[in-house]
Homo-oligomer: A and B are copies of this chain.
Amino acid sequence: MKPPVTRSPRHTLALMVCVVLLGSMRARAQTDPLPSWNDGPAKKAIIEFVQATTDQSNPKFVPPAARIAAFDQDGTTWVEQPMYSQVVYCLEQVPVLAKKKPELKHVQPFKAVLDGDRAAMAKFTMKDLEKILAATLTGMDVEEFNASVKAWLASATDHRFKRLYTELIYQPMLEVMKLFRDHGYKTYFVTGGGQDFVRQYAEQVYGVPPEQVVGSAAATQFGYDKTGKPMLTKVPKLLLNDDKAGKPEGIHFMIGRRPVAAFGNSIGDKQMLEYTGAGDGARLMMLVHHDDAEREYAYGPTSKVGTFTDALMSEATKKGWIVISMKNDWKRMFAFEQ
Contacts and interface: CB of A to CB of B under 8 A. Distances in A.
Query: Among A203, A219, A252, which residue has the most Cβ atoms of chain B within 10 A?
Result: A252
Interface stretch (A19-27, A99-107, A206-214): A206-214
Contacts of A252: 142, 220, 232
Interface in A211-258: 211, 213, 217, 219-223, 229-230, 232, 239-240, 245-246, 248-249, 252-257
Contacts of A274: 230
Given A249-B232, A278-B229, A254 B254 contact: yes
A210 B271 contact: no
A53 interface: no
A222 B257 contact: no
A199 interface: yes
Contact of A271 (B211, B222, B246, B249): B222
A271 B230 contact: yes
Given A230-B278, A255-B210, A256-B213, A221 B203 contact: no
Nearest to A246: B222
A196 interface: yes
19 contacts: A65-B209, A68-B211, A142-B252, A195-B256, A196-B256, A199-B256, A220-B253, A221-B245, A222-B246, A222-B248, A222-B275, A223-B245, A230-B248, A230-B271, A230-B274, A230-B275, A232-B248, A232-B249, A232-B252
Interface of A: 65, 68, 142, 186, 195-196, 199, 203, 209-211, 213, 217, 219-223, 229-230, 232, 239-240, 245-246, 248-249, 252-257, 271, 274-275, 278
